[in-house]
Amino acid sequence: MADVMAYCDPQSAAPGETIRFMVSCVGAAEYRAEIVRLRSPQGPPDAPPFREEVVETVANGSYPGRRQEIQIGSWARVPASPLFNGLDSFTLQAMVWPTTPGRGRQALLGTWSAPVAGGVGLGLGPDGDLEVRLGDGAGGIATLASGQPLQSRRWYLVAASFDAGTGRLALLQRPLADKTFHAHRTVVTDMETGVRPAAGDGPFLFAAWRDDGPFGIGGFYNGKIDRPRLAGRALTPAEIEALAGDAIPAALADAVVAAWDFSRDIGGETIRDLSANRLDGETVNMPARAMTGCNWDGSEHDWTRAPGQYGAIHFHDDDLDDARWEADFSLTVPEDWPSGCYAARLRADGAEFHVPFFVRAPRGRATADVAYLAATATYTVYTNNLARFTGDHVELYQGRLTVMDETDMLLPRHPELGLSTYDRHSDGSGVCYSTRLRPATNVRPTGRLWNYCADLFIVDWLDRSGVGYDVITDEDLHRDGQELLDRYRVVVTGSHPEYDSKAMLDALDGWLRGGGRLMYLGGNGFYWRIAYHPRKPGLIEVRRSEGGLRAWIAEVGEYHHSFTGEYGGLWRRQNRAPNALCGVGFISQGFDASSHYRRTAASHDPRVAFMFAGIEDEILGDFGALQGGASGLELDCYDEKLGSPPHALIVAASEAHSNTYMLVPEEVAIPHGASDGVQNAGIRADMVFFETPGGGAVFSTGSIAYAGSLGHDDFDNNIARLTSNVLKRFVDATPFELPGAAS
């Protein structure tokens, strides 16, 4: 079977705008591309049928298959300069915090070129000790190693110096005092060599060396580098120590060729040289910035207030910010295409790959009263979630066997596709950046019914409702703000709109205050704060900081986004719990079985009579394609302390959840054991309605599984009826009145 993988850019486009598709096809001479409109997901037999309709366009056709490679792994480079390539004597030094010493040779810094064995490279040796290599490019190589492996996650001052006059090559490896106890001592060693380095005319690199692979780069390093320096002569150990300070000592100014300060321009890709030579460079593939440096003392957690303590960059051999593929074909959205969910469907030799994209309304206007908000931020954050299949504890918290399909298996077969922010890097540190500029194996209308795929259940219901709708995306909302929402009376969310930037929340809040009507048809929404990269579209940052249900836990002191300086983590920790926006907030998750809602007395309040028109049942949603019930997977409940409006009506609440449903950690201050769905009545989804001061209203279901119940029995069921009742009333321009406002 062939491997076909692709992505597109942009992900949402208005009529007249062009989307480019980047494809890699291995194992087949050609592939067939067709643009499809997606109206429902591929679900289980009892769900509505899979509907993907081929749309006629000149983009449809057969294209030659070709392999496109991805360079994964981050590094940094300074363009070639005679200032370092012409050095005879030198000192290379840095503070380093390695995370995988012993996992083969790794580059720290230098001009080393593996293909010609030339230049100078300071790095970690095969066994994790400090190593320097000199090469003359003509077969002469000198190698000196410290012989003492560095410990993982400990700061060291490391340096190599060379005096071309004497041929003396020296190494210094000193562990920094860090209030822990260990048996490591400073290592100073030297040798004499007749080899004289010949750097050629290449760049100066950090965390990589020049190699002869397809991208000319290799030797990736895992760990932090702080305050790297290059001097034009062999410094003494005392001079090396002096140069490791914050500023360049005046006595060494003449000797210094470059003194990079990674605490400058933390939000960008530039690395700054403080020396008079201004040997600035750039990072590649988005290594983590705003990382605590060797001098971080715990007194300040916000890098914008103490940038000098955040001079470290954490490089990873599996960082990726952009696959950087060439386009294979493109699509200019015709003027007459309705807004909706579309995809390029690629097929070759038995393999199939979908590349979803969204057609929005013509710029500056709406074509309907209703907007469906596609959760593209959440899709990007989840993109290529490898740990979903490989984590030791997945089956425990899922409460069921792990299921994969052919497309899922592309991910472990192609690690160059990069990771999601649900993963850890190969060194165990959390992945805090994710990009949509790469193939996504888990954003598609097939496979696991989750996020994009499950959201198509809602699209299907909306499509059949007969009420017209436009599609807008999280990224559109972030960029366009409230002005985009102001064109619509109703916004319908997907099943799990978990991630929001401040701009997105501000837009939703402002629009609601102006009379907007929000149908939040999901669970665990509006939970995490994200930052979009201000200049690189499609790139998102998440810091899994001090609270919440976390796939990894950010290192102490690394809670602020590098992109923006904002404190990352849960919106709940920033006085913007989801409860304030939509009435409910995350309380529990479980994945083995879904349950039902039971109506409350409040459901008979005249304020919600419209909602229950034609519904006599007390039990709602005891059916559905997402594990058999409307309440399941991830659940939200009402909590006035977190901002749920006091006048909100809880019209239904779920019950009878299973053992795998556990309270979220932010609700368990003291572990008490009665934290699962069997024992804890607090674990439930609350279905909530409330009016807003501007004549608008909010309806929230608080459950991801809700989406899977809409289509049950051909949409003839109490969940579909209730939801359609809400939609019909929300589309009606008649203002909602706050309870008690008339008196």
| Residue from the set 101, 356, 391, 711 that interacts with other proteins by CB under 8 A | 391
Q: For residues 318 and 431, what is the distance between their CA atoms, to the nearest angstrom?
A: 9
Rounded to an integer, what distance in angstroms lies between the CA atom of residue 202 and that of residue 77?
10
Minimum distance, C-beta of residue 240 to other proteins, in the bound complex (Å): 39
Burial category of 507 from C-beta neighbours within 10 Å (exposed 0-12, middle 13-18, buried 19 and up): buried
Distance CA(100)–CA(133), nearest Å, equals 20
Q: Which is nearer to other proteins, 222 or 658 (CB)?
A: 658
* Per CB under 8 A, 396 contacts other proteins: yes
Q: How far is the CB of 389 from other proteins (least distance, A)?
A: 7
Is residue 553 a contact point for other proteins (CB under 8 A)? no
Residue 569 backbone class (left: φ over 0; alpha: ψ -120 to 50; beta: rest): left
Angle among Cα 21, 22, 28 to the nearest 5 degrees reads 110
708 within 8 A of 457, measured Cβ to Cβ: yes
CB 58 within 8 A of CB 330: no
List strand residue ranges (DSSP E) for 648-736, in order: 649-654, 662-663, 686-691, 697-700
**Contact pattern for other proteins over residues 616 through 645, marking x by CB under 8 A:** -----------xx-----------------
Cα–Cα dist 186/184, whole Å: 7
How many residues bind other proteins, per CB under 8 A?
35
In the list 20, 32, 42, 148, the residue contacting other proteins (rule: CB under 8 A) is: 42
Q: Is 43 in the site for other proteins (CB under 8 A)?
A: yes
Element (H, E) at 3: strand 3-9
Site for other proteins in 111-170 (CB under 8 A): none
The runs of H, that is alpha helices, within 292-393 are 376-382, 387-390
Residue 295 CB, nearest distance to other proteins (Å)? 33
Residues between 507 and 536 that touch other proteins (CB under 8 A): none
- Say how many Å lie between the first and final Cα of the chain, rounded: 70
Instruction: List strand residue ranges (DSSP E) for 65-114, in order.
Output: 75-78, 90-98, 106-110
Q: How far is the CB of 442 from other proteins (least distance, A)?
A: 13
Give me the least distance between CB of 405 and other proteins, in Å please: 4
Give the range of 109-117, 493-501, 548-556, 655-663 binding other proteins by CB under 8 A: 655-663
Closest CA to 607 of 439, 501, 738, 440: 738
Question: Binding to other proteins by residue 395, rule CB under 8 A?
Answer: yes
* Cα(536)–Cα(436) distance, integer angstroms: 11
Is the CA virtual torsion 698, 699, 700, 706 positive or negative? negative
Asked if 552 interacts with other proteins (CB under 8 A), we say no
674 binds other proteins (CB under 8 A): no
Report the residue from 179, 182, 393, 641 that binds other proteins according to the rule CB under 8 A. 393
Query: Any contact of residue 332 with other proteins (CB under 8 A)?
Result: no
Site string for other proteins, 417-456 (x = CB under 8 A): -----------------------------xx---------
Q: Which of residues 569-598 bind other proteins (CB under 8 A)?
A: 592-593
- Tell whether residue 404 is a contact of other proteins (CB under 8 A): yes
Distance CA 161, CA 173 (A): 12
Among residues 678, 681, 735, 741, the one that binds other proteins under rule CB under 8 A: 678
Q: Which stretch binds other proteins (CB under 8 A): 80-88, 91-99, 282-290, 386-394?
A: 386-394
| Binding residue (CB under 8 A) for other proteins from 1, 29, 253, 403 | 403
Report the distance separating Cα 132 and Cα 108, nearest Å: 10
Least distance (Å) from other proteins to the CB of residue 365? Answer: 38
Q: Which stretch binds other proteins (CB under 8 A): 106-114, 131-139, 391-399, 467-475?
A: 391-399
45 binds other proteins per the rule CB under 8 A: yes
The yes or no reply on residue 657 touching other proteins (CB under 8 A) is yes
Choose between 191 and 668: whose C-beta lies nearer to other proteins. 668
Least gap, CB of 277 to other proteins (angstroms): 43
For residue 205, the SS3 value is strand
What is the spatial distance between Cα 199 and Cα 166, in angstroms, rounded to a whole number? 19
Decide: is 386 part of the binding site for other proteins (CB under 8 A): yes
The torsion angles phi and psi of 25, rounded to 5 degrees, stand at -130, 115
* By the rule CB under 8 A, 672 interacts with other proteins: no
HSE at residue 318, side-chain half, CA atoms within 13 A, is 23
Single out the residue of 316, 290, 104 nearest to residue 221, CA to CA: 316
Candidate segments 10-18, 408-416, 465-473, 716-724, binder of other proteins by CB under 8 A? 408-416
Report in angstroms the alpha-carbon separations of 704 from 350, 454, 458, 600. Answer: 32, 9, 11, 20
Q: Are 57 and 331 in contact (CB under 8 A)?
A: yes
Q: Least Å distance between CB 344 and other proteins?
A: 20
Shorter beta-carbon distance to other proteins: residue 44 or 740: 44
Q: What is the rounded CA–CA span in Å between residue 486 and residue 476?
A: 13
Cβ pair 569, 502 in contact under 8 A: no
State yes or no: residue 402 binds other proteins (CB under 8 A).
yes
Check binding of 659 to other proteins (CB under 8 A).
yes
Among positions 658, 692, 717, 725, the unique one binding other proteins when judged by CB under 8 A:
658
Binding site for other proteins (CB under 8 A): 42-45, 386, 389-393, 395-396, 399-405, 409, 412-413, 415, 446-447, 592-593, 627-628, 656-659, 677-678
